[in-house]
Amino acid sequence: MPRGANLPAIAAFNETVVLDAVRRSTDGLSRVELAAGTGLSAQTVTNVTRRLLRQGLIREAGKQSEGSPGKPRTILRLDPAGAYAVGVHLDPTVIACVLLDLEGGIVAHVHRPSPPDGDAVTTLAATLDAIHEVLATPGVDAERVIGVGVAAPGPIDADTGVVVRPPLIPGWNDFHLRDELAAATGLPALVAKDVTCAAVAERWHDPAGASRDYAFVYYGTGVGVGFVLGGEVYTGSTDNAGDVGHVLVDPGGALCTCGRRGCYGESVRPYRLVMQGLWSGVVTAPEGVVVPDGEDVHLDVETVDALFTRLTAAADAGDERARAIVDRSIRNSAFYISNLSALLDLDRVVYGGPSWARVERRYLDLLPRRMAEIDMEILTHPVRIESSAVGEDVAAVGAAALVLDGTFSPRVGLR
């Protein structure tokens, strides 16, 4: 755990150190354990915990007597109702909104369909509606809501909170998301890339840090990767790490927006699989939409989502043509995930995101086998493929966790 300092001028710093230590412990900590773990003096720990108790951020949770001589020690834990944060995930298909308590528990969550045309003003209105609904959760003290975190498709400008030209949502070009939300809610707001948020959520779910190095593959309208390296979420030099779309995995495969064929992002995204399903007749186009063989047609996000659900269900049910389409995308993923795991020496890759549940069964079954077939050349160790422990709201949860991180992080506390 981070070490504290015994100087009165940095009391706020020590509060974050103590809070973070309490959060990372699974069963709470006594004041003696806190002093030993943080390097703070017993007197400083007593003062800091008194302030945190008064602020309602921690609570006394019973006595610890077993195995320790002397009088029983009081165990300190976070008070979940001590602070709340709102997390929003803006995806081209769905707006997910959660309210997290101080322990990271999901107190409320709502979903709203994203406006089909991706219009920024309509999206903002739907987002505010979702935020107001979670804030109205009974029993939640509005005074204790400390901010709004937004997970958005990249690229983003984290300093200004602006979404910069997201490739799949043209309506959000240079959308001043953070300032609009802060003005409308009266709460501090931050914007982060969706894949980064997903990695943060997964990291929060495992606060003791059992897993120090892994990739989070975010499977939604597009695909991106978030990284936890050395126990820390890696965001890159401009907070835009994780764009993996144009790595070549399938020479001669589908034509990508970049003008080349067989890019990873293009070959696995739901839209691409849906087009292949339409061409082969596994799924049928909605009325009035003509799909010439081998030609891409425009489909709105809801139609892609509905057809993707049908295609993947057909694959799960044993339809050979549907399986061939899904399995080819898994084979393409195997090339990329093997190389990524070798590059960063990862032994674990976590999958999640809004479209993940539809392909989860076949991925978990097939991807390790496809990777094993090519691993002999690339990898020296097996890589575990897992589903997110956080669930479908993973990016929204991570966005709220980033807000709460400000309460726990000594670096943020110093500002």
C-alpha span between 14 and 348 (Å, rounded): 34
CB 165, min distance to Zn ion, A: 16
CB 339, min distance to Zn ion, A: 16
Write the interaction track for Zn ion spanning residues 369-408; mark x where CB under 5 A is met and - where it is not: ----------------------------------------
Angle between helices 320-344 and 301-316 (to 10 degrees): 100
**Mind giving me the DSSP string for 253-308?**
-PBPTTS-B-BHHHHHSHHHHHHHHHHHTSS-PPTT----TT------HHHHHHHH
Give the Å distances, CA to CA, from 100 to 106, 111, 400.
Answer: 5, 15, 7
Residue list 305-364, contact with Zn ion (CB under 5 A): none
Rounded to 5°, the CA angle 205-209-215 comes to: 75
Nearer CB in complex with Zn ion: 165/384 = 165
CB 254, min distance to Zn ion, A: 9
C-alpha span between 210 and 130 (Å, rounded): 34
CB 248, min distance to Zn ion, A: 8
- 71: amino acid identity, one letter: K
Nearer CB in complex with Zn ion: 45/256 = 256
Q: What are phi and psi of 86, to 5 degrees?
A: -95, 135
Residue list 87-146, contact with Zn ion (CB under 5 A): none
CB 239, min distance to Zn ion, A: 22
Residue list 253-272, contact with Zn ion (CB under 5 A): 256, 258, 263
Angle between helices 31-38 and 42-54 (to 10 degrees): 120
C-alpha span between 210 and 187 (Å, rounded): 34
**Beta partners for residue 385, in sequence order:** 349
Write the interaction track for Zn ion spanning residues 158-197; mark x where CB under 5 A is met and - where it is not: ----------------------------------------
Nearer CB in complex with Zn ion: 32/247 = 247
Nearer CB in complex with Zn ion: 246/348 = 246
Nearer CB in complex with Zn ion: 48/263 = 263
Give the Å distances, CA to CA, from 75 to 63, 78, 236.
Answer: 6, 10, 38
- Beta-carbon count within 10 A of 179 CB: 13
C-alpha span between 189 and 403 (Å, rounded): 8
Write the interaction track for Zn ion spanning residues 202-241; mark x where CB under 5 A is met and - where it is not: ----------------------------------------
CB 320, min distance to Zn ion, A: 29
Examine residue 249 and tell whether it contacts Zn ion (CB under 5 A).
no
Among 51, 112, 176, 246, binds Zn ion (CB under 5 A): 246
If you count them, how many residues does the chain have? Answer: 415
Nearer CB in complex with Zn ion: 153/413 = 153
Binding-residue total with Zn ion (CB under 5 A): 4
CB 414, min distance to Zn ion, A: 41
Exposure letters 208-222 (e unless 16+ CB within 10 A, then b): eeebebbbbbbbbbb
Residue with tokens 């295609």, as numbered in its chain: 311
**Sign of the CA dihedral running 35, 38, 43, 45:** negative
Contact between 75 and 393 under an 8 Å Cβ cutoff? The reply is: no
CB 250, min distance to Zn ion, A: 11
CB 300, min distance to Zn ion, A: 23
Nearer CB in complex with Zn ion: 153/398 = 153
Which span sits near Zn ion by CB under 5 A: 46-54, 110-118, 168-176, 242-250? 242-250
Nearer CB in complex with Zn ion: 156/263 = 263
Contact between 279 and 291 under an 8 Å Cβ cutoff? The reply is: yes
CB 217, min distance to Zn ion, A: 17
C-alpha span between 24 and 32 (Å, rounded): 16
Nearer CB in complex with Zn ion: 256/379 = 256
Nearer CB in complex with Zn ion: 77/246 = 246
Chain residues that interact with Zn ion, rule: CB under 5 A: 246, 256, 258, 263
